[in-house]
A and B are shown apart, each in its own frame.
Chain A
Amino acid sequence: AQSVTQLDSHVSVSEGTPVLLRCNYSSSYSPSLFWYVQHPNKGLQLLLKYTSAATLVKGINGFEAEFKKSETSFHLTKPSAHMSDAAEYFCVVSLYGQNFVFGPGTRLSVLP
């Protein structure tokens, strides 16, 4: 069975400072991993995905994530937070394009 843990339910950063949202997963096989963002009262938008190619994945809006198999982690980072980054972020693990398992989400607040 697969599972996803997002270690922080809420992260607060100041505008212009780095963002780190943590995600750990459990999977018996080589999974695909995704980060989605959900702005208030909006749908879910894909930020980036890992599909067994390069371990450092670049996404939209300056976000990137690094797949570390030894640590079973897929943390999301951004060098400099912007006010528009304030949203809910979901880490997702999938096996063979099925069984998409969502983490509980991390709410990111960006302070001016």
Chain B
Amino acid sequence: DAGVIQSPRHEVTEMGQEVTLRCKPISGHNSLFWYRQTMMRGLELLIYFNNNVPIDDSGMPEDRFSAKMPNASFSTLKIQPSEPRDSAVYFCASTPLWPAYNEQFFGPGTRLTVL
């Protein structure tokens, strides 16, 4: 299996631009998580989906952030408009819902820099 795939690996954009991060979970995994990691705040859960349905989006910073999962093999995290404080590494992780003791499998991350 190819593991969790994220694209792009690096993104540099200017303040005010729209940014779209993409994630392909491991086939058969039906939970998907988006995290953000910064030096100041550590690893933060933004949102997670079960069976393509958003379950908890309380970690989404503000309305500029949105996430979708149109099917079991694809999810996007969009920031519009982007701001310099959004600069971070964004990780996607997936896990099967059953058995219930499975670990999360992480993608390599997308390093976002907003100038």
Q: A residues touching B (Cβ–Cβ < 8 Å)? A: 32, 34, 36, 42-46, 49, 51-52, 90, 92, 94, 96-98, 100, 102, 104-105
Q: Which of A32, A36, A44, A94 is most buried by chain B, counting CB atoms within 10 A of its CB?
A: A44
Residues on B with C-beta less than 8 A from A42 are 108
Nearest CB of A to B56, in Å: 8
Residues on A with C-beta less than 8 A from B101 are 32, 49, 51-52, 94, 97
Q: Establish whether residues B99 and A97, one from each chain, have CB atoms under 8 Å apart when the complex forms.
A: yes
Q: B residues touching A (Cβ–Cβ < 8 Å)? A: 31, 33, 42-43, 45, 48, 50, 55, 91, 93, 95-109
A49 vs B95: C-alpha distance when bound (angstroms): 14
Residues on A with C-beta less than 8 A from B102 are 97
Q: Is the interface of A mostly helix, strand, loop or mixed?
A: strand
Q: Establish whether residues A105 and B103, one from each chain, have CB atoms under 8 Å apart when the complex forms.
A: no
Residues on A with C-beta less than 8 A from B108 are 42-43
A94 vs B96: C-alpha distance when bound (angstroms): 13
Question: CB within 8 A of B103: which of A49, A52, A96, A104?
Answer: A49
Nearest CB of B to A94, in Å: 8
Q: Establish whether residues A44 and B95, one from each chain, have CB atoms under 8 Å apart when the complex forms.
A: no
Q: Establish whether residues B45 and A97, one from each chain, have CB atoms under 8 Å apart when the complex forms.
A: no
Question: CB within 8 A of A100: which of B45, B98, B109?
Answer: B45
Residues on B with C-beta less than 8 A from A105 are 42-43
Nearest CB of A to B46, in Å: 13
Q: Contacts A100-B45, A105-B42 given: A44-B91 contact, CB under 8 Å?
A: yes
